[in-house]
Structure 1
């Protein structure tokens, strides 16, 4: 009667995925994240030009970064919830969000004044946060549960590379062709990413089966919010130090301003290396990585604060922060995905928590300086946040959750599990 073929190609792909390696689409999603985060950082490289163009102070241009973060923290979950309410599959949802992002980028490039630019930053921030959530959901759907941390690390490699390559390139474009050209270049990059997504990313309906009500139920879990808190505290501790590192190195460590670009590039390189290493082990050793990383982060922040005037120790501590701070993202994502179904809203709220932590760390560090505690105050703030991060790990998954995670790894992803007999589905 001839060869019997698998009636479900997706099922066949699920069974062979672990052997075939990481799907190339995950790398494409990393390019998308690179485009989004380049826009987030680029304002920092063109503050004088934007200040002159809009006739406002540099501090007011700095608010554009805060407005982007505000759009991410609040607008992202709202946009994602709306798409879930409309039952939009992941791929069309990502294309809609990239389209919204491009519209915001074009509005920024054409902005006649500060007010329009502020609106554009809020729009692009909201679209960016929602894109993160949907892209992580797509990546989680493409790989087996035991590979989700690694897939997240590849995607988030775009985040690590944005300040290393994206920011210098957009700054160079601004200096050579004007600030509007920088915004146009990022909009074009986002259009390219959208075109590649349209052609190569497969359509998945898995999150329709786990729609808005399912994700809202997941958001009622206390342990999920404890995981969100850990992520926010890690990033808050990191950015409390990073936000004020430059004046600290110049004024206390007495480094030449000419050495700062090289130092920041080395920090970016440390981010990339740390992300690659953590991504390899995040799935199997999630909690140990978070525990060890937070301990190293706290010790590095304390060392930086105590020996800030010693250039060698200060630079060494700064690079350790670069290795163990932001690069813990894959483990943070793996922990969240272990506690709840990795849907777009769960992931987007996670992004919002991280953004809130970033804002908290930078703000609290500034409060410490303004209160008269000196440039090392942000480092002590970061140290305190890292300690609170360690406390938040007390709500790590219980043994039954660990068994569930191992069972999921054996059974494959949720789509394969859903096709099994009810008794097996309960066991898995």
Structure 2
């Protein structure tokens, strides 16, 4: 893998840490701005809304820029938004900061994957995507706990400034490591928008949303489920979440190695395993050993299906920046759907195990969305062309 691929992964790690860390410092931010915990929760929703809606719109505005220039512009915008959050003296300013960072993060996600795919041979795109998306997994395993530790030791502003430093470092490394790219042709915007007429692309988006929704329906409520249902002590939760994070990293390494050759088996077997783990968790969540086994399996097969999901998108519609950005928005939508519906199930009185059953239902729907393509034997998802064929196709367009 070119060094630039790892730099892109570092940027994704930095930005995803910023996305997750507010959830780990709800009491600190609530006390700082004099608002309720629920109001601080809206900061998480604002970030997600920025990713879902604003990211693709900003990407359209940047399509005529060379990808390297677009990436650096988005990194700068994120840096400004994160700095605004670190300096915020009021809830309104913090809300604006989260919207800015959400919008720029979503667009940066798509541009990073587009650059990543352009730096490797077509048959290596799944592995390259696993490195870039590995930043998301490591943010769960390391970034979030580190941000919480900074909050406890030095205050929440230190966590925000730490992310600023990481983004700045990533941008400076990218300035040197990412090769210059030519300015896209004027037809590029029309070509990228035309990709959305492909029904197979929307089917792939639906599967991705359901996978992430199923995972986050459970993950969003791991802490209360593990303490109140499984009976773990609250002091052990950081360790248990660290084990989950380590499982996602290992799963991402494995799927990254296999995604290019075994995309559909990863998605189908992964969804079967995810359904089984969520069902096991729902049935035996009160038994600590089985609960932790389910947590580990969810970590291995949930979010780590991302490389296979991204590979499927490139097989269906190519490596366009807007296509990959919208995929990132779809993933964010999955986070919102899973966590929101899981929360509604708890509020409706179905108990702490109900988000696990919500996740199981979403995973089953994900399997159903794959059935037409399993019957076709993957015919709608062609094998990647060779590097020479890819170059000829690019030259033709």
TM class by shorter chain equals over 0.9
Give 1:415 deviation, angstroms: 3.0
1:256-306 per-residue CA deviation (whole Å, 9 max, x = no partner) reads: 112211110000000000000000000111011100000000010000001
Aligned pair 1:61/2:37, yes or no? no
Alignment correspondent of 2:17: 38
TM superposition score normalised by structure 2: 0.96
Alignment correspondent of 1:322: 299
Which of the numbers 237, 245, 263 marks the counterpart of 2:222? 245
Give 1:400 deviation, angstroms: 8.5
The more displaced of 177-186 and 239-248 is 177-186
Which of the numbers 322, 341, 357 marks the counterpart of 2:334? 357
Alignment correspondent of 1:14: none
Structure 1: tracts of 5 or more residues without a match:
1-21
Alignment correspondent of 2:90: 113
1:229-280 per-residue CA deviation (whole Å, 9 max, x = no partner) reads: 1001000000001111211111121111122111100000000000000000
Which of the numbers 54, 71, 96 marks the counterpart of 2:50? 71
> Looking at CA atoms only, which structure, 1 or 2, has the larger radius of gyration?
1
Which of the numbers 274, 279, 285 marks the counterpart of 1:297? 274
Aligned pair 1:95/2:76, yes or no? no
**Counterparts in 2 of 1:155 and 1:165: CA distance versus 1, 3 Å:** same
Measure, in 2, the Cα distance between the counterparts of 1:342 and 1:186.
Answer: 29
TM superposition score normalised by structure 1: 0.89
1:317-361 per-residue CA deviation (whole Å, 9 max, x = no partner) reads: 111001000000000000001001211100010001111011001
Give 1:194 deviation, angstroms: 0.9
Measure, in 2, the Cα distance between the counterparts of 1:240 and 1:181.
Answer: 30
Structure 2: tracts of 5 or more residues without a match:
none
Alpha-carbon contact 2:315-2:381 (below 8 Å) kept: no
The RMSD of aligned alpha carbons is 1.8
Correspondences of 1:216-365 after superposition (within 5 Å): 216-365=193-342
**Counterparts in 2 of 1:418 and 1:61: CA distance versus 1, 3 Å:** closer
1:104-162 per-residue CA deviation (whole Å, 9 max, x = no partner) reads: 01110111100110010011011001001000000100011111110000111111111
Measure, in 2, the Cα distance between the counterparts of 1:225 and 1:299.
Answer: 26
**Counterparts in 2 of 1:140 and 1:221: CA distance versus 1, 3 Å:** same
Return structure 1 stretches of 4+ with deviation > 6 angstroms. Answer: none
Alignment correspondent of 1:415: 391
* SS at structure 2 position matched to 1:396: helix
Which of the numbers 211, 218, 238 marks the counterpart of 2:188? 211
Aligned pair 1:394/2:385, yes or no? no
